[in-house]
Homo-oligomer: A and B are copies of this chain.
Amino acid sequence: MALKVVKVGILGLGTVGGGTVNVIAANGQEIARRIGCDVVITRASARDLTRPRICPTDNLQLTTDPYDVINDPEIDIVLELMGGEEPAKSLIIAALEQGKHVVTANKALIACHGNELFAIAAKNKVVLAYESAIAGGIPIVKAVREGLSGNTIEWLAGIINGTGNFILTEMRDKGSDFADVLKQAQELGYAEADPEFDVEGIDAAHKLCILASLAFGIPLQFEHVYTEGISAITPVDLAYAEELGYRIKHLGIARNGNNGIEMRVHPTLIPEKQLIANVDGVMNAVVVKGNAVGPTLYYGAGAGADATASAVVADIVDICRQLDAPVDSRVAALGFIVDKLSDTKILPIESITTAYYLRLQVEDKPGVMAAITAVMAEQGISIEAVLQKEPANTQDNISVVLLTNKVQESALIAAKVQLEALDTIKAPLVRIRVETLD
């Protein structure tokens, strides 16, 4: 007996679009065993039909007009895999309003316009799915939204940008400078020609914003994510961190504390014994701490054609499994009923509390440490560990590395200003946040 066919159209036939065609070709039979129907990609739109593709296109009706895909009445599911804000956003809205389910890998669009888009999907009784938007092939949306639904989520922390993690890993392994490794990453195709999006944390901030909404049941608020990149990290700091038993990772951190919710992306020292400290290269991982389950970790490829397509296809499979179900029986877009989303405030970075790694360049004079510790005491900051390094060259300054206890960021900023005003302190203080992830 012929299986029921679900027809899929793709907008954008680049890396993820091509990967999706390939994955469905490779695994179509296995998918049919899972859901009892055949998933067939019938149409795809691309800007330039003459470009070489990573997938065969023989069985696809190709077009340069995305509306040919959206308006095809036979198509049940539209995949938006073109990226960017417009025309992606308008196309998604058009597809939803035609009553088609939409799967997107567009993290920027979900982070910045998800509230609006999910409302349009709900109004039209269709699904807007986005598993592939965060951490590539890792099923992290499903884990937080469904797998940990018995928990109140306390915090999560993730390596959610492979480019940044590759750069930090190489810098540590080879003692190389940021700029040199970035160049190498660009040559390997791991970093874009314009790397700002990745290395300054914007991409990670998009993903973190979505994860925070999934974890805490809050509307998407990308404008409130504090974002700091890794371009100021030096091999010296990576080596000192290691000497102290830590690794430096570019983390996205979201925490639901007593005073509000934290959303922040920044370089972070984490104890080397933590599993996530050992996630290297382009790999991604997210730790999610639930009040019942404790810490859990999810690890895998955060990018790449097939890995990202794995998540796109999982969304398609979910939609197919529930094609005949009432819309209310599907999981809410952010895992919480829309009118139950919470208005808990997002804390400004000055209000968060964390430990710090500080590196100071000081003159080799009596009384220097006394002056430093006096400033710290005045701001109520305790020092947990000190590392003092004699310079190779006696004319040079001494490096002093401090690990503080947990302190409110505003106090640390005040201490920084006071320290940098001291005569004996010679260069701007290097400051990196420290999280134990316990």
Contact = CB atoms under 8 A, between A and B. Distances in A.
Interface of A: 19, 23-24, 26-27, 30-36, 131, 136-139, 142-143, 146-152, 217, 275, 278-279, 285, 290-301, 304, 306-307, 309-314, 316-318, 321-326, 328-332, 335-337, 340, 342
B33 A337 contact: yes
Contact of A293 (B143, B147, B300): B300
Contacts of A23: 150-151, 292
Contact of A217 (B33, B326, B340): B33
A151 B297 contact: no
B328 A324 contact: yes
A334 to B, nearest CB: 10
Contacts of A309: 150, 292
A31 B149 contact: yes
A335 B34 contact: yes
B149 A143 contact: no
B298 A296 contact: yes
Contacts of A329: 321-325, 329
B146 A296 contact: no
Given A35-B149, A36-B337, A150-B313, 9 more contacts: A23-B150, A27-B291, A31-B149, A33-B337, A137-B293, A293-B307, A297-B297, A321-B329, A324-B328
A390 B307 CA distance: 48
Contacts of A324: 326, 328-329
A307 B294 contact: yes
A43 B148 CA distance: 24
A94 B296 CA distance: 35
A27 B314 contact: no
Contacts of A313: 149-151, 292
Contacts of A34: 149, 217, 332, 335-337, 340
A162 to B, nearest CB: 12
A331 B306 CA distance: 24
A232 to B, nearest CB: 28
